[in-house]
Amino acid sequence: MTEATQDLAGGVSPSELGPASPRVVAGFGFWLFLLSDIVMFSAFFAAYTVLSGATAGGADGAQLFHRDRVLIETGCLLTSSFTCGLLSLAFERRDAVWTYLWGAATFSLGVAFLSIEVIEFTGMISQGAGPSRSAFLSAFFTLVGAHGAHVGLGLIWLVVMMAQVATLGFPPMVMRRLLCCSLFWHALDIVWIGVFTVVYLGVRR
């Protein structure tokens, strides 16, 4: 902090101080990716909101969605975001044991979330309410399915990171990847807030 104030007083511009550290560059770049991912989701949200009434005579949200199940899903994902935060504290300390433990907790909660979602999707499809039934269901499966695909990718990434910690330890390269992985997981939860509010709680009863 004293350095920064000196810089301001000395009139040295940030660009004269040289490039930022790779960790900051990687973190900022990944932040930009996450924001663009959220822009993509916002288009799916807009499509869903526009089409949510277009059921083509088929089942609507009030008949298809189970709020109790969504509450459990939300609890799993929210808790996994918390354990992911504890995971990031563990790897900042370069503590392998707690990194594995919180990684395992995050992974299991993510698997629980994804399993409930798969059960929901297969149940809907077996009732004849698949993505091809109506515009409403196409938009639903696109939005919620895209989020679920992100969770699946995040789970694979988490396993890969645990393997890298096991084989490589905590060099700066692995630390950067762990940082991006935990940011990705937190971003999934932010998108899910939008999903449960707009999709599951937004239906008229």
Partner 1 sequence: MSANEATNGDDKAPGVERDGGDWRRYLIGFVLAVLLTLSSFWAAQTHMVWAPSVPVLLGVLAIAQMGVHLVFFFHISSAPDQTNNFLALAFGLLVVGLVVFGSLWIMTNLNANMMPMGRLMQMQR
What residue spans of the chain are helical by DSSP H?
A: 2-10, 22-51, 61-64, 67-92, 96-126, 135-168, 172-195
**CB within 8 A of 185, min separation 6: which ones?**
80, 81, 84, 106, 110, 154, 158
Site mask for partner 1 (CB under 8 A), range 164-193, x = bound: ---------------x--xx--x--xx--x
**CB within 8 A of 111, min separation 6: which ones?**
155
Q: Which of residues 15-44 bind partner 1 (CB under 8 A)?
A: 17-18, 20-21, 23-24, 26-28, 30-32, 35-36, 38-39, 42-43
User: How many chain residues interact with partner 1 (CB under 8 A)?
Assistant: 55
**CB within 8 A of 130, min separation 6: which ones?**
124, 137, 141
Considering only 123, 169, 172, 202, the residue that binds partner 1 (CB under 8 A) is 202
Considering only 64, 165, 196, 199, the residue that binds partner 1 (CB under 8 A) is 196
Q: Please compute Rg for the chain using Cα positions.
A: 21
Residue 135: what residue type? A
Is residue 79 a contact point for partner 1 (CB under 8 A)?
yes
Instruction: State both tokens at 81.
Output: 């975001």
Q: How far is the CB of 93 from partner 1 (least distance, A)?
A: 7
Instruction: State both tokens at 26.
Output: 């990687």
Nearer to partner 1, 128 or 171 (CB): 171
- The residue ranges that bind partner 1 (CB under 8 A) are 1, 3-4, 7, 14, 17-18, 20-21, 23-24, 26-28, 30-32, 35-36, 38-39, 42-43, 45-47, 49-50, 67, 71, 74-75, 78-79, 81-82, 85-86, 88-89, 92-93, 179, 182-183, 186, 189-190, 193-194, 196-197, 201-202, 205
